[in-house]
Amino acid sequence: MKEYLELGQIVNTKGLKGEVKLNSFAEDNAIFERLPKVFLKSKSGIQEKQIEKVGYNKNQVILKFKDCNSIEEAETLRNAYLLVKRTDLDDLPEGVYYIADLIGLEVYTDKGEFLGKVDDIYSTGANDIYVVKNEMGKQKLLPGTDEVIKETNLAEGKIIVHLIEGL
């Protein structure tokens, strides 16, 4: 499992005092208010940052880092990915997984047929959709429901699914 998880990407600056706009990948943006520290990954490497202030504007998170006090300093952070150490996050409930841990898992039917690997997961609001891609590049979309997803085994790197009619 990955040591760091991506929680968003800095896409722009806000104002003149060093704030940045973040496109969040988090399910709940309130997580940024609880993090002791974050890490920014850019072309120049990974650097640790302390969050001083968190705000919200439409669908973006506004962050102010302790050592970033001007628009010029904030500009250097543009396009950086915001990472968090897995150990700094709360434990997930049983049966709930980080998307980063599911990407790349092999997907088999409950009859033993290999369907491909998880290529992406996106949320529709009602449930997640698993994008499974086979060796030929063909995609199959599977709803992330208990009726379809029967077993997720991170240790073995696989997911067992039951294909209902229409899949």
Full set of structural domains in the chain with CATH: 4-88 (2.40.30.60), 99-161 (2.30.30.240)
**Angle, CA 4 vertex, CA 64 and CA 138 arms, to 5°:** 115
pTM: 0.76
* Cβ-proximal residues to 112 (8 Å cutoff; 6+ apart), any chain: none
Neighbours of 10 (CB within 10 A): 21
Interval 28-86: pLDDT, tens: 899 999 987 899 999 889 999 999 999 999 889 999 999 999 999 999 999 999 999 98
> How crowded is residue 59: how many other Cβ atoms within 10 Å of its Cβ?
8
Q: Which residue has the higher pLDDT, 63 or 89?
A: 63
102 to 38, 121, 166: CA distances (angstroms): 22, 8, 24
- Amino acid, single-letter form, for residue 149: I
Average pLDDT, whole number, for the chain? 92
Residue 65 to residue 102: CA distance in whole angstroms = 31
| pLDDT recorded at residue 167 | 63
Q: Distance between CA 40 and CA 25 in Å, rounded? A: 14
Which pLDDT belongs to residue 87?
Answer: 87
